Amino acid sequence: MNYDTRIAAEDLADVDPAAVLMGDAEEDRRSRRKLWIIGLAMLAGLIAIWFMTHSGDGAATGDKKAQAAVVSVIAPGRGTIEGAINVTGTLAARREMPVGVPGEGGQVVSVLVEPGQWVGAGQVLAVIDRSVQVQQRASQAAQIDVARANAQLAQANLDRALKLVERGFVSTADIDRLTAQRDSAAAQVRVAGAQLGVLNAQLGRLNVVAPAAGLVLERRVEPGQVVSAGSGVLFRLAKGGEMELRALVGETELAQVSNGVRAEVTPVGGAKTFTGQVWQTAPVIDPQSRQGIARIAMPYAPELRPGGFATAVIKAGTLVAPMLPESAILSDNEGSYVYIVGKDNKAERRSVKTGLVTADGIAVVEGLSGSEKVVLRAGGFLSPGETINPKVVTK
């Protein structure tokens, strides 16, 4: 054994085995710690990458949402709507009676009524000069007296002849002749009486009379005026004073109006409203205006002046349907439509059919169930498929 070997053996003898083992364990702990640190660092990196990726998507989504148009929308639902059709028209007499000269006419002597007066059936409205007709009637009355005298003479001659025929002084032929003369004279009396009746009728027709009771609306004749059957209308009367509004109603609305429904009529310039009733609807539609006439009957009132203009609200029953403001309903060559909020907030065009128009809006009778979100305004600036940012507006 040399010196070096001895020294090494001495060193080994000084080494503690427990210390060596503790050193190895410390090294293992350090290695594991490093592995944990590396794993945590990798996990943190992955999490950072994930956040960076998703934060970019959120920003893009936010940008898209910020770029989408903000529009107001409404969910109309369904409700019971009282039909109310607003119309306009002209006031007129419900039954207007034009009165003219019924006979041969002549010079007007006097006019007995003025516009606005009430007259009864058969009441004289104007008197025409009858001096000639009176003389003709007197002459015809005298002719009747002559005919009666002739008839009496013929009857007396026949009676005397009948007494003499038994004695042979008068022949049967004479009796026949006298009988014919008696019958002819009696017939002349009847003819003269009929002619007198004609003259009396003509004389009576010189009075212009009211055909029925009513209100005088217009007078077109003055004393001294010469009138005849060709002079036209001299007076206009409203039978019973009844008035009506001849309202112009659109083709669609007219189909919803029936006889007997109530209407509120307000003359232009007046504050008073009158209650009437639709009594007739036009059987035809004007091909130019696409409108028909609904005639609303009303009793007489001084404020209802024929020829005046008036507005009316016709009650057209009830309807269960969605109700939309006018701003939500658009139209083009294809018809009426609205924009609703579709999938992914895309604007979707929906064709609709409108119905009753009221002060609260327009009823939609076809195209909507009421649960849709309908664009309330600015629909004219949208296009189908455009992304929008809807904001619900409560009613």
Question: Torsion angle of alpha carbons 131, 132, 137, 142, nearest 10°?
Answer: 110
- Determine the distance from the C-alpha atom of residue 177 to the mean position of all C-alpha atoms in its chain, rounded to a whole number: 80
Q: Are 294 and 313 in contact (CB under 8 A)?
A: no
The dihedral of CA 341, 71, 332, 251: what is its sign?
A: positive
Q: Cα–Cα distance between 336 and 362 in angstroms, integer?
A: 12
- Residue 206 has what DSSP assignment? T
Q: Residue 346: name the closest of 72, 69, 75 by CA.
A: 69
Beta carbons within 10 angstroms of residue 130's beta carbon:
20
pLDDT at residue 6, rounded to an integer: 45
Q: Which of 306, 301, 313, 217 is nearest to 266 (CA)?
A: 313
Q: Collapsing DSSP states into helix, strand and coil, what is residue 262?
A: strand
| Rounded distance between C-alpha atoms, residue 217 and residue 324, angstroms | 46
CB 50 within 8 A of CB 288: no
Which run of H or E residues covers position 17?
helix 17-67
Q: Which positions ≥6 away from 41 have C-beta within 8 Å?
A: none
Please state the pTM of the whole predicted model.
0.55
Distances (CA, A) of 379 to 90, 154, 364, 374: 37, 105, 17, 9
Order of strands across the sheet with 106-111?
Answer: 207-209, 124-128, 106-111, 226-227
Question: Rounded to the nearest 5°, which phi and psi values hold at 354?
Answer: -90, 160
Backbone torsions φ then ψ of 279, nearest 5 degrees: -115, -10
Residue 75: its pLDDT value, please?
A: 87
Tens-digit pLDDT profile for residues 120-158: 999 999 999 888 888 888 888 898 889 899 989 989 888
**DSSP SS3 for 2:** coil
Q: What is the pLDDT of residue 114?
A: 94
Please give the Cα distance from 118 to 216 (Å, whole number). Answer: 6
Q: Helix crossing, 131-164 with 172-204: angle to 10°?
A: 160
From the list 312, 323, 233, the residue with the least C-alpha distance to 270 is 312
Concatenate the DSSP letters of all residues of 35-75 into one string. Answer: HHHHHHHHHHHHHHHHHHHHHHHHHHHHHHHHHSEEEEEE-
129 Cα distance to chain centroid: 50
Amino acid at 216: V
What pLDDT is stored for residue 366 in this prediction?
87
Question: pLDDT value at position 270?
Answer: 84
pLDDT in tens, 81-114: 777 788 999 999 999 999 999 888 889 999 999 9
Structure tokens at 326: 């006018």
DSSP conformation letters of 269-334: T----EEEEEEEE-SS--TTT-EEEEEEEE---TT--TT-EEEEEEEEEEEEE-EE-GGG-EEETT
Question: Which parts of the chain register pLDDT below 50?
Answer: 1-15, 17-21, 55-66
Burial 246-281 (b: 16+ CB within 10 A, else e): bbbbbeebbebbeeebebebbbeeeeeebebebbeb
